[in-house]
Chain A
Amino acid sequence: MEASVSFVLNGKPQTVVTDSERSLLEVLREDLHLTGTKYGCGEGQCRACTVLVGGDCVPSCLTSISDVNGMEVLTIEGVAGAARLHPVQEAFVAEGAFQCGYCTVGMIMGLVGVLKKNPGASEADALSELQKHICRCGSYAKYLKAVRQVLNSNEGDA
């Protein structure tokens, strides 16, 4: 069923006309060529495809494009500032916190989402969101260091 879907994508208005049943993930990747968001399982189990919709972390593989009509969508491509990386990205680079890196954008989006919701989020808050994610390379110890770096610098800011 063709539908016109309008939403705000990474701060800019976006309209797509397409089958309303298609997943947000597919439309982002194939129609809008935003391939930073990854497919990992198609069933919301690995969260490599995490994006923020209305500020919530969602698996874009299970989100229909029609579900984002009128919503704000943030993908990894919209996370960094013009001149510098987002602090979460900076922390992941500083810790070298990835191996193959395929899950990394999803992890970053998960943590960005937690912090957007609650800038004073605790480590437990962050981990309860990141628990939904899979890193098959087993980089969790490094990811945890990056998470702590972000949360600590947040404390310093406060």
Chain B
Amino acid sequence: MNTKPEPSLHPDPLGSHPTRLRPEATARRMGAEREQQVDNGRHSERGCVEDQPQHAVTFKSAAPKAFGGAAAGAPLPQHTAALRADANEFNYEELIERTGYDFGLSRRSFVKVLGAGLLISVSLPALAQESGARGRGDFMGTGAKSLGARIHLGADGSITVLSGKVEAGQGARTELSQAAAEELRVAVGRIQMLLADTAAVPNDGMTAGSRTSPATVPAVRQGAAAARELLITFAIHQWKTSRDNVRIVDGEVTEIAGKRSLTYADLAKSDEAPKLFARAIPSDVELTPAKDWKVLGTPVFRPNARDIVTGVHQYPSDIVRPGMLYGKILRPPAYGATLTAIDLAPAKAMPGVVAVRDDQFVGVAAPNSSAAESALTAIAKTAKWTAAPPQPSSKELFDYLRQNAEEGMDNPYAGEIAVAKALRRTYDVPYIQHAPLEPRAAVAEWNGDELTVWTGSQNPFGSRRELAQAFHISENRVRVVIPDFGAAFGGKHTAECAVEAARLAQGAGKPVSLRWTREEEFTWAYFRPAAVIEAEASLDPRGRIATWHFININSGPNAVETPYAIERNHCRFVRSKPPLRHGSYRALASTANNFAREVFMDELAAVAGSDPLDFRLAHLENARLRAVLVKAADAFLWRKKIKLADASVSFGLACGTEKGSYVAACVEVEIDHSQKTIKVRRVCQAFECGAVLNPENLRFQIQGAILMGIGAALREEVQFADGKILNASFGKYRVPRFDDAPDLDIHLVDRPDLPSAGAGETPIIAIAPAIANAVFRATGQNVRALPIRL
């Protein structure tokens, strides 16, 4: 950055927010800004041996690229794609589309600033770097800069471990507590885990991408091991003895042949402690090998269970501050409709009600939610909107995505396809909603120009930055606190609710609680991206796959590459123009890619006259994936069962890998042809994610992923037309309930010899294709879309 904004206008020393630099974003405040961290649609190494263009294995330049929503009819404006090469190490993409709220400068003053030439000398590549750096901060975090930033030892014996990760039900609080307890040599109950308060904890990156287990657990272990070594060294110095003469048990260093002992409290009280804890955590500290684990690797339940079952725990929507008001936001009648006029007087006339308009932002705050609702209803009647621009509906979604694909999809093996036994299929995967049971919620409180927000987000430091940007204040004036909240599934990476609450609180001069309604969550949160997948393959005379061509349009590159050993394959991701605001989801695009690939594999097996299990094994060299597939098939008695399949009871299997873990599922389904219903009766799933950190929590994540996968396989689909969501309620968008839960037979394949991979996402990717394959077997009809319909 070589241009600094005028200080009086820009208290933020960073002065580099893209929302200020891009007039389009400011003008279209209901729009969104996207950071896309990896763009790795590419060929496999093998594929590149062929005459494939080499660009596919290299990353595109970091220049920002406008894409998506640019069509006349699309409701979303400018997007920025920022690329991150390092994220590709784990083949992972996070999609973040932020809303473009900008409250610091009015549109007029913004234009004035631009006109004064203060900002326009910033070059576009500089912007891209800026945006890439932010992406990295969000995703990977900076970690603890000192031991004291990770672990606080109290003179009273308390042990507080700090992490920027969040707890949304996935078990981070438990596993990080175990990680610290293991290395500190204390019982897990001794650990107080302080999560996600940006004023107190290190930035461990977003809680996303299954990264807590492989990245944050080791980081916490490293800090805890360093603290343990400090205690041991402290004792050795005090007693002028050698390491061989001491041992550490239960948080206490004792002399093996003596009676003296020292604890973490003693270390905390020592004069050297402040200096020792100000140092960086050494990278060479020895971690306990998995074979010696006593706390990690064992089943531990959530530490705050009692507060959950008594209702004492305060979720973000439960936070109450003195003098707090309750907010409501005016939403446009359709995506892309713009507010042209509104009269706030009817709301302002109501007792205790505050009404705020800031360009397209309109909201009210009142002493209770009903009063806020009445006030909003009163002013909504006076609102004038432009008509929503023409935009595609869910009925034409897949044609629209295909027509707007940004690159050609020619099959490089077309010549061979023409003369061989070949199949070509197109698979459609709809938008779905995460629908966490706690909708977005935030409480915002200003103290002068300092802002504190309590909210449910997977991205505490990213939320802090989003708030700082929206209000043009420095990040160190914003504190974001994330209480353990009511689930996310990749759906809470952004801070729009927090920004809205903060704008209302600013207008009201009082703290404001804003809780989105279910309808708002279904409409104004982002969606799992929809996908069209084009698959084409040819078989050689022996019935093996000779060529494989597989393209994901729109939803992303996660698991787009085939894990099967196919010499000649070409797999890639092609962007399109998403008509809805989309973002991350549990396993994101691998839900679509693995569905299409595994369904296609069964169709190819049928053409080859081969059993689906044999057909897969014949193409599978990856030992870890083979192991889970064989495990699931054996446990399910696949070879015996498959002979019993008929039109009403059938069986299917599928497998896959993503984010370093491996899954295979066998399912039994019951089909009622007259009612046109599919019931999943039994799921046998094998899963491997390296060394298991907590088998109880792992099973729970697998169970949850299976249930969520069943919902997406059988029912979930966002319907929309004319810029409106048509099924924005649990009454119209059915998610799995008790009677949808099948018998579950889960097999953990523990590999203590391997590093732990995350496990909250991958267990979802085999379930939809396994169900589809069971339906295909029963009906003979190819399944070409989700949700599966008879």
Contact = CB atoms under 8 A, between A and B. Distances in A.
A144 B170 CA distance: 19
Nearest to A19: B370
B306 A93 contact: yes
B707 A138 contact: yes
Nearest to A93: B305
Contact of B437 (A100, A130, A143): A100
A103 B437 contact: yes
A130 to B, nearest CB: 5
A104 B308 contact: yes
Contacts of A92: 305, 309
B737 A96 contact: no
B741 to A, nearest CB: 4
B173 to A, nearest CB: 11
Contacts of A34: 311
B776 interface: no
B169 A76 contact: no
A46 to B, nearest CB: 6
Nearest to B522: A41
Interface string B740-751: 110010000000
A115 interface: no
A40 to B, nearest CB: 5
A26 interface: yes
A100 to B, nearest CB: 3
Contacts of A85: 306, 309-310
Given A99-B170, A105-B309, A141 B703 contact: yes
A157 interface: no
B466 to A, nearest CB: 23
B312 A96 contact: no
B309 A45 contact: no
Interface string A8-35: 0000000000010111001001110111
Interface stretch (B142-150, B266-274, B315-323, B657-665): B315-323
Interface string A118-158: 00000000010011011111111111100000000000000
Given A35-B314, A99-B704, A102-B315, A144 B741 contact: yes
A99 B592 CA distance: 25
Contacts of A140: 703, 707, 736-738, 740-741
A99 B311 contact: no
B518 interface: yes
Contacts, number: 168
Interface in B502-522: 515, 517-518
B360 interface: no
B706 A138 contact: yes
A104 B309 contact: yes
Nearest to A88: B309
Interface residues of A, number: 56
Interface in A73-124: 75-77, 79-80, 85, 89, 92-93, 96, 98-105, 108
A42 B308 contact: no
Contact of A100 (B318, B369, B487, B740): B487
A85 to B, nearest CB: 7
Contacts of A142: 700, 703
B729 A133 contact: no
B486 A100 contact: yes
Contacts of B320: 33, 35
Nearest to B324: A30
Given A138-B706, A139-B704, A22 B368 contact: yes
B293 interface: no
Contacts of B438: 38, 40, 100, 102
A77 B311 contact: yes
B222 to A, nearest CB: 28
B301 interface: yes
B437 A136 contact: yes
Contacts of B700: 96, 99, 139, 142
Contact of A38 (B315, B489, B735): B315
B527 interface: no
18 contacts: A26-B368, A31-B368, A35-B318, A38-B315, A38-B317, A76-B311, A93-B306, A93-B309, A96-B696, A98-B169, A99-B170, A100-B437, A100-B484, A101-B302, A127-B738, A130-B738, A134-B730, A137-B704
Given A38-B438, A98-B305, 9 more contacts: A23-B370, A35-B317, A40-B438, A102-B437, A102-B438, A133-B737, A137-B704, A139-B704, A143-B738
Interface of B: 168-171, 301-302, 305-306, 308-315, 317-318, 320, 326, 368-370, 435-439, 484-487, 489, 515, 517-518, 696, 700, 703-708, 729-731, 735-741, 744
Interface of A: 19, 21-23, 26, 29-31, 33-43, 45-46, 48, 75-77, 79-80, 85, 89, 92-93, 96, 98-105, 108, 127, 130-131, 133-144
